[in-house]
Structure 1
Amino acid sequence: MLKMMTFQGLPGAGALDFLGSPLKFRSASEAESEASMSEASSEDLVPPPEAPERDEAETSKKKSKGLATMFGLFTKGKKKKGAAASVEPACKPDATPGPAGPLPTVEELKAALERGQLEAAAPLMRLERELRAAAAAGGAAEAELVRRQSKVEALFALLRDQVLGPLRRPLDAEPGRLRRALAVLAEQEREDRRAAAEPGPPALAPTRPRRWLQLWRRDVARAAEERLGRPPAAAPGLSEAERAFLAMGRTMREDLQAVAQRLKPLFPAEFRVVATYAEAYHAHFAAQVAAMAQFELCPRDTYMLLLWVQSLYPNDIINSSSLAGELQGLNLGSLLPPKQIRLLEATFLSNEVTSVKELMTRALDLESQRWAQDVAPQRLNGHCHSELAIDIIQIISQGEAKAESITLDLGKQIKSMLLAELAAFLRSYQRAFDDFLERCKQLRNYRANVMANINNCLTFRISIEKWQAPQDPLRPLNELKSHGFDTLLQGLFSDLKPLFKRLTQTRWAAAAQTLEEVVSVVEARLPEFSELRECFQEELMELVHVHLVKEYIVRLSKRRLVLRTAEQQQQLAGQVLANANLIQRFCTQHGSPATWLQPALSTLAEIIRLQDPSAIKIEVATYATLYPDFSKDHLSAILAIKGNLSSSEVKAIRSILDIHTGVYESPKSLFSLIKVG
């Protein structure tokens, strides 16, 4: 069975290294800027200001740290000492560029941008605005305006790459530089909106909106694709698909945690940096899932895909404790559409039910082979023990747990299906056990295996009741137990048969002595059943109790004893009552719970003793409420003992059984086991 997949100790991707390492792809804008800048010159710009810009490129840059050092505090959930100093508040954009002295030359702006001096953005925007103003005022040659515009656009292309470059490796960038790049990007977005509201002069080609923010989002999408597309690390015991999804899941969660903890404090709120990364990662993850769902999946991969779509992705990533607050309200949606999920769920349910059925059949086949091969059952706490019930319950429970790991609703659906399969299995189990009872009587471990299977019934019954299953699954178990008890008691009841015959052969002259012998035989045989579990020893003792009472009544009903005087009837009633007390006391002391049998013989003794027909009617009516299967034939056999009753009196007493009292009816059977006539 596939174990539950978690993110603990997952193989695969490390921390968010794409944020600190150059990406493999090269932006088209970089090539464009290199080509166009070769045309730039200083002849169209005013002389440079007296105080040149400070060369930030000459300042020392921090050496790139290893990935483990850089991201350790995110993957472990701890804050590195001193890390707070490197996190600066969200950047404030530079003020709108205005007239602040003469503009630098094209060469100076180009050199400044190539050195990474993002302060050149402000004069460059002034240059762009002055160009637009000149074109709007008229007077300048159109060719000259176009030439100047091409040089301005070449500088903007270089600026764009200097701005977007740090954003492709944000955790590797010095926080101050990253903040300046974000400020320039924010200002460019505002300028795009202003330009959209103010149509440019017709003499110039439209260059805005430049949509640098959109380019940044495209780079994030490419980074997500590259990160989630990395080959997963080796993981023994997992399929290729499982390894791939585990690696993607871990990478996505760790990367988004790093974005939320490190980048969110630096990015302007309107950039929605966490949402941008989350949406990009979600889109690629969903594409991978959709691609996999198109294939004909094996049962294991069907389960894995559903587990990710319905449980691991929404619960362990999107709603994980570290990300739930950040991703709340994004409405990323499911990795698959509902219709496709339903199809996968139907396939999963079919696969799992088939698997459970095969596993249960295999377990029963192995158990049946052990019976036939006369393999002795295990002993557990002094009782005969079989692992079959435990194996079957585990198979059912694991199937239900597997479905519940996807969704609780799927667990409910499969539960009813698995209980139906369990009921079918128990019927097969009963048939296999009956076949064993019939064919293997001569084996040495026959009785021990019978007791082991009876003991199984308790384990099954506890689980079925816990699952709140319908009562149908219990019916085969009750049959199995009943047939097992019959087999175990067969020898004992055969030994008791000649003893009970003495009661009629001696005309009840030595009834007390005979009953004492019966009790002695039963007591001597009880250790044979000690390897049954205690509850089944009690049930078996109840069956013995029923048998003793039944056989005693059978002997009373043989119509061979007719007593015509009240004294004789009272003497017999006393013997019956004494024997009843002996049977009740002995069986109760040895665990019989059959309190319902207590009045069975004592009331018959009272009917034999009474002489008034009306009093006899009352006793018979009471007796019929306790034993609804007590019939007129049974009553006639008892009344035949009373030789001083007239036929009319007997008829009147019998008529009392025609009245249905509607009072309590016992679920136990006694007189239905007794045939008279």
Structure 2
Amino acid sequence: MWVVFLRYKDEAQLYKEEHLRNRQHPHCYVQYMIAIINNCQTFKESIVSLKRKYLKNEVEEGVSLSQPSMDGILDAIAKEGCSSLLEEVFLDLEQHLSELMTRKWLLGSNAVDIICVTVEDYFNDFAKIKKPYKKRMTAEAHRRVVVEYLRAVMQKRISFRSPEERKEGAERMVREAEQLRFLFRKLASGFGEDADGYCDTIIAVAEVIKLTDPSLLYLEVSTLVSKYPDIRDDHIGALLALRGDASRDMKQTIIETLEQGNTQVNPNYVPIFREIIVPSLNVAKLLK
């Protein structure tokens, strides 16, 4: 039977590739992809049911009703299907994510409002996805939105020009983090999972931006690094460049001092900065 599932996997991949060539086709792509995903759970349940019915001796002897190789194939198909649907979401979010941390954003862009509405609309369409897959999909959407927000912070799209701008920018970041938190709590309702930590990362970064006394920057940045040990030198350099008031010597001192520290990593910590690249900027440039 696993041969049938491998064929199913190949056909699902071909279906996705057809859509990537033209997002207008096939018609009802999202609905059919949801069916492909849900079929995986149905197949798994059917396999267990058939084994329970026709392999009674094995069941009585305590043989597992599931077959890891088949379950693995089906879970891989479902995971790929969920990833495909999330790609649809983030293709529609691209324009609005690109507005974050720009002068337009600071002056009152409604980008995060649109991001929240778009994500919620898509997840209304995803309502029929079976729970184990939808739960993972919701958590991944949450993580990825926050990663994209942090990526915008690190891309040096704006440099604050005054304490007032830093305060306004930081407060906006906090408001938007709470807005995203509210959205994903709503989407994750009933899953019994707390993923608030993702949005806490945006708030922690905002604290560094909001700080009014530059002489305390080292303490604030070191607190951030202790919470998020996968932060690299280029992240710190980009964050200080975003503030717009740290001298070259101060940036260098902060980075060098932090490099000498010995951060204890919580074994339960899930890296979030690791995949955020500071594009076309190295530490030397950020220190200028």
Structure-2-length-normalised TM-score? 0.73
SS of equivalent residue, structure 1 residue 661: coil
Answering whether residue 253 of structure 2 is matched by residue 652 of structure 1, we say: yes
State the match for 2:203 in structure 1: 602
Could you tell me how far 1:516 is from its partner in structure 2? Answer: 1.1
State the match for 1:425 in structure 2: 70
State the match for 2:144 in structure 1: 547
Q: AA paired with 2:155?
A: K
Answering whether residue 232 of structure 2 is matched by residue 619 of structure 1, we say: no
Counterpart CA distance in 2 for 1:378 and 1:661 is 43
SS of equivalent residue, structure 2 residue 218: helix
User: 2:188 aligned to 583, 588, 591, which one?
Assistant: 591
Answering whether residue 272 of structure 2 is matched by residue 670 of structure 1, we say: yes
User: 1:520 aligned to 108, 114, 117, which one?
Assistant: 117
Could you tell me how far 1:498 is from its partner in structure 2? Answer: 0.7
Compare the two structures and name the one with the higher helix fraction. Answer: 2
Tell me if the contact between 1:367 and 1:388 (Cα under 8 Å) persists in the aligned partners: no
State the match for 1:215 in structure 2: none
Q: 1:505 to 1:641 in 2, by over 3 A?
A: closer
Could you tell me how far 1:554 is from its partner in structure 2? Answer: 1.7
Could you tell me how far 1:482 is from its partner in structure 2? Answer: 3.5
Tell me if the contact between 1:511 and 1:575 (Cα under 8 Å) persists in the aligned partners: no
1:349-399 deviations in whole A, cap 9, x for unaligned?
xxxxxxxxxxx436637966997999x7998xxx94553202333466579
Q: 1:377 to 1:651 in 2, by over 3 A?
A: closer
Tell me if the contact between 2:38 and 2:78 (Cα under 8 Å) persists in the aligned partners: no
Q: AA paired with 1:643?
A: G
Q: 1:622 to 1:482 in 2, by over 3 A?
A: farther
Counterpart CA distance in 2 for 1:497 and 1:661 is 35
Q: AA paired with 2:170?
A: A
1:456-490 deviations in whole A, cap 9, x for unaligned?
xxxxxxxxxxxxxxxxxxxxx3x544422210111
Q: AA paired with 1:530?
A: A
More relative contact order, 1 or 2 (CA 8 Å, 6+ apart): 2
- Structure 2: segments with no counterpart, 5+ residues: 16-25, 27-31, 280-288
1:522-545 deviations in whole A, cap 9, x for unaligned?
222222101112343333222222
1:198-223 deviations in whole A, cap 9, x for unaligned?
xxxxxxxxxxxxxxxxxxxxxxxxxx
Answering whether residue 157 of structure 2 is matched by residue 560 of structure 1, we say: yes
1:54-113 deviations in whole A, cap 9, x for unaligned?
xxxxxxxxxxxxxxxxxxxxxxxxxxxxxxxxxxxxxxxxxxxxxxxxxxxxxxxxxxxx
Answering whether residue 46 of structure 2 is matched by residue 391 of structure 1, we say: yes
Once the two structures are superposed, the pairs formed by residues 241-252 of structure 1 within 5 Å of their partners are: none
SS of equivalent residue, structure 2 residue 141: helix
Tell me if the contact between 1:363 and 1:388 (Cα under 8 Å) persists in the aligned partners: no
Q: AA paired with 1:562?
A: S
Could you tell me how far 1:663 is from its partner in structure 2? Answer: 4.4
Counterpart CA distance in 2 for 1:385 and 1:488 is 15
State the match for 1:167 in structure 2: none
Counterpart CA distance in 2 for 1:394 and 1:562 is 61
Q: 1:638 to 1:385 in 2, by over 3 A?
A: same
Counterpart CA distance in 2 for 1:502 and 1:364 is 42
State the match for 2:131 in structure 1: 534
Counterpart CA distance in 2 for 1:650 and 1:602 is 21
User: 1:574 aligned to 162, 171, 176, which one?
Assistant: 171
Tell me if the contact between 1:562 and 1:641 (Cα under 8 Å) persists in the aligned partners: yes
Q: Which is higher, the Rg of structure 1 or of structure 2?
A: 1
Tell me if the contact between 2:2 and 2:70 (Cα under 8 Å) persists in the aligned partners: yes
- Structure 1: segments with no counterpart, 5+ residues: 1-359, 406-410, 431-476
Counterpart CA distance in 1 for 2:227 and 2:52 is 42
Once the two structures are superposed, the pairs formed by residues 456-535 of structure 1 within 5 Å of their partners are: 477=75, 479-503=76-100, 506-535=103-132
Counterpart CA distance in 2 for 1:607 and 1:503 is 18
- Supply the RMSD in Å over aligned alpha carbons: 3.6
Counterpart CA distance in 2 for 1:624 and 1:398 is 56
User: 1:634 aligned to 214, 226, 235, which one?
Assistant: 235
Q: 1:367 to 1:650 in 2, by over 3 A?
A: closer
Could you tell me how far 1:583 is from its partner in structure 2? Answer: 1.4
Q: AA paired with 1:503?
A: L
Q: 1:426 to 1:481 in 2, by over 3 A?
A: same
Counterpart CA distance in 1 for 2:236 and 2:219 is 13
State the match for 2:20 in structure 1: none
SS of equivalent residue, structure 1 residue 575: helix
SS of equivalent residue, structure 2 residue 106: coil
SS of equivalent residue, structure 2 residue 274: helix
Tell me if the contact between 2:78 and 2:133 (Cα under 8 Å) persists in the aligned partners: no
Counterpart CA distance in 2 for 1:643 and 1:516 is 27
Counterpart CA distance in 2 for 1:384 and 1:404 is 26
State the match for 1:643 in structure 2: 244
SS of equivalent residue, structure 1 residue 672: coil
Tell me if the contact between 2:156 and 2:242 (Cα under 8 Å) persists in the aligned partners: yes
Tell me if the contact between 1:363 and 1:391 (Cα under 8 Å) persists in the aligned partners: no
Structure-1-length-normalised TM-score? 0.34
Once the two structures are superposed, the pairs formed by residues 104-115 of structure 1 within 5 Å of their partners are: none
Counterpart CA distance in 2 for 1:369 and 1:644 is 54
Counterpart CA distance in 2 for 1:627 and 1:363 is 44
The number of equivalent residue pairs is 256
Q: AA paired with 1:553?
A: L
State the match for 2:2 in structure 1: 361
Counterpart CA distance in 1 for 2:203 and 2:34 is 44
Q: 1:365 to 1:500 in 2, by over 3 A?
A: closer
Once the two structures are superposed, the pairs formed by residues 213-362 of structure 1 within 5 Å of their partners are: 360-361=1-2
Q: Percent identity?
A: 20
Counterpart CA distance in 2 for 1:485 and 1:377 is 8
Tell me if the contact between 2:106 and 2:169 (Cα under 8 Å) persists in the aligned partners: no
SS of equivalent residue, structure 1 residue 570: helix
1:222-261 deviations in whole A, cap 9, x for unaligned?
xxxxxxxxxxxxxxxxxxxxxxxxxxxxxxxxxxxxxxxx
